[in-house]
Structure 1
């Protein structure tokens, strides 16, 4: 991937982005620019797995699917890779999931990606029409659930250790920060 990225001139197209194939790093496409981050930490992956287990158990009975670290096409040229998504059933062989199929998007905030998840991705997910956005604040051990209203996200719930997030839509789940964040 390194040679292809450094030899590239001008903005990246979706076709060029998808042609990179699978990489060991997380490579996202934002309006012609690549955003590259290193692989997540073991702590991040533990949180993702535990949250994914909770959401998957809640999604399957209502006909939804949980997917981890997949390309989500928000619009042409804008393809982030959220930590977790709850979607309607999709073609599992497509290179990306369309935003219209996503019911809930989850990001686990690390110090290296905090601004991207809290500002850039939050704005992009809302603009794409994704109704629910769940942020896991690793450092503080907090969960923040946002619901899209009038094209922007408004905080619906915020819980810290010792409290419980009661997710009612698009799936029903009870999530305790201490069960996710060591």
Structure 2
């Protein structure tokens, strides 16, 4: 059981690492602790799900639409919440307060639009295969989460260290 929990924790930690890198990058660049990132991510996931349900697009296309939607929402939040605060010369921590308010608004809007029931992507849309290794069940999605997190963290590290960007 210990090894199973290690595998579960490793895949969940990979997801947390991606969020942590996002928080760090935004704080390092904008000097704002944006706590609405989870809500923006949630909206991207819901947009991807709705695109799959209504337009019957494959997962890759739905993910591209979800990334675009989340990116646009991030830009809108910059224009509507963070820039006005910076223009007024507000204390840098007011951005954190603004991001908390934005997160609450986005979560409330999602509850109104999508409801509060747990929803899943359609069967077969997400990697569902699992392998049993030495009594440990490793799901395909766990492997993908770990691999994607590793690639994203390494790519961002290379971008920051090797370029002036």
TM-score computed with the length of structure 1 as normaliser: 0.23
> Considering only CA atoms, is the larger Rg found in Structure 1 or Structure 2?
2
Higher relative contact order (CA 8 A, sep 6+): 2
Greater share of residues in strand = 1
